[in-house]
């Protein structure tokens, strides 16, 4: 039944009967068809220009992507690892050492981006640089276990430094 109604509708529209029968056929008048296309193109261009202006107005308030965490936030996640440890060689260090290394990396990024500038965080940044130079790009469990003492020592040293600088994390 629905198909039959659709066929009747299509037949009426193509034969000139039905809805819109009193609208002149654009194919019969090429000048009218050109005028209609010009009007449509002008509307489309105006809409595109308006959308572009509105997008331009919204850009300054929209952040393109999140930046580094605040120092206090990055330090808090590092500090959460203070009561954790592992036993190198026992097979339980992959997560722990990977996490501490990741937290140190994020803290390094946040200290470099902080408004106080990297000069304010000279000691912890220097300690992290020494560690990162030793680690290189290898984040395998065996390599991290090899540098267990340096990783944990850097974490603990930064914790001590930050405790002497409460204005940086409170």
- For residue 4, the model assigns a pLDDT of 47
From the list 110, 81, 101, 105, the residue with the least C-alpha distance to 143 is 101
Has this prediction a pTM greater than 0.85? no
Q: Is the pLDDT of residue 13 over 50?
A: no
- Say how far residue 98 (Cα) sits from the centre of its chain: 22
| Dihedral sign of CA atoms 91, 77, 151, 87 in order | negative
Mean pLDDT score, 83-109:
95
Q: Is the pLDDT of residue 16 over 60?
A: no
Q: How confident is the model over 19-33, as pLDDT tens digits?
A: 554 544 444 565 655
């Amino acid at each position: 039944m629905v198909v039959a109604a659709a066929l009747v509708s299509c037949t009426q529209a193509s034969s000139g009967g039905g809805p819109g029968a009193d609208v002149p056929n654009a194919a019969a008048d090429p000048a009218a068809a050109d005028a209609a296309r010009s009007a449509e193109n002008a509307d489309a261009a105006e809409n595109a220009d308006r959308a572009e202006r509105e997008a331009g107005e919204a850009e300054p308030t929209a952040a393109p992507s999140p930046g580094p965490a605040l120092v206090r936030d990055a330090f808090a996640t590092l500090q959460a690892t203070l009561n954790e440890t592992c036993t190198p060689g026992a097979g339980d260090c992959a997560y722990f050492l990977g996490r501490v290394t990741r937290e140190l990396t994020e803290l390094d990024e946040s200290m470099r981006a902080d408004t106080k500038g990297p000069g304010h965080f000279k000691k912890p940044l220097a300690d992290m640089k020494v560690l990162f130079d030793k680690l290189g790009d290898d984040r395998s469990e065996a390599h991290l276990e090899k540098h267990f003492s340096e990783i944990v020592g850097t974490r603990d040293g930064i914790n001590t430094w930050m405790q002497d600088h409460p204005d940086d994390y409170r």
